Chains A and B, each alone.
Chain A
Amino acid sequence: MIDFCISLGLRRQLKARRARLHRMANAWCGDAMLADDLTQECLASALAKNHQLKDHGKLDAWLFRILHNCWMMHLRKRRPGLDIDEIDIHDGDTPETRLHSQEIAARVRAAIQRLPPGQRQVTTLVDLEECRYAEVAEILEIPMGTVMSRLSRARAALRRDLSGLKQAPTGKRSHLRRVK
Chain B
Amino acid sequence: MSKPRNPTGADLNALADGELDSQRSESLLAAMEYDPHLQAELCEVHRIKDLVRHAHALEADTPAATPRRLGLGNAVAAMLLLVGGFTGGWLLAPRPSAMPGFAMDQVTAHSNRVILYLGESNPAKFRKTLGKAEALLQRYREAGIQVTIVTSAGGVDLLRASTTPFGNEIRRLAQRYASLQFVACNNTIYHMRQEGKQVELLDEADTAPSAVAYVVDHLREGWRYIAI
Contact = CB atoms under 8 A, between A and B. Distances in A.
Contact of A172 (B52, B53, B64, B93): B93
Nearest to B132: A179
B68 interface: yes
Contacts of B44: 159
Contacts of A20: 58, 62-65
B42 to A, nearest CB: 11
A180 B122 CA distance: 13
A70 interface: no
Interface residues of B, number: 49
B91 A177 contact: yes
A128 interface: yes
A166 B89 CA distance: 8
A114 to B, nearest CB: 13
Contacts of A17: 63
A41 interface: no
B52 A158 contact: yes
Interface string B44-65: 1100111111111111001111
Contact of B63 (A16, A23, A124, A172): A16
B160 interface: no
A109 interface: yes
A60 B66 CA distance: 10
Interface stretch (B12-20, B148-156, B167-175, B190-198): B12-20
Contact of B226 (A123, A172, A178): A178
B10 A158 contact: no
Interface stretch (A48-56, A79-87, A129-137): A129-137
Interface of B: 9-10, 13-14, 17, 19, 44-45, 48-59, 62-69, 81, 84-85, 89-94, 97, 104, 107-108, 111, 128, 132, 224-228
Given A168-B92, A170-B93, 6 more contacts: A26-B56, A128-B53, A128-B65, A131-B68, A159-B44, A175-B111
28 contacts: A19-B62, A27-B55, A60-B65, A105-B55, A108-B51, A108-B55, A109-B55, A109-B56, A112-B52, A124-B52, A126-B17, A133-B14, A148-B10, A149-B10, A152-B13, A158-B51, A166-B89, A166-B90, A167-B91, A169-B93, A172-B94, A174-B93, A175-B107, A176-B85, A176-B91, A176-B227, A178-B89, A179-B132
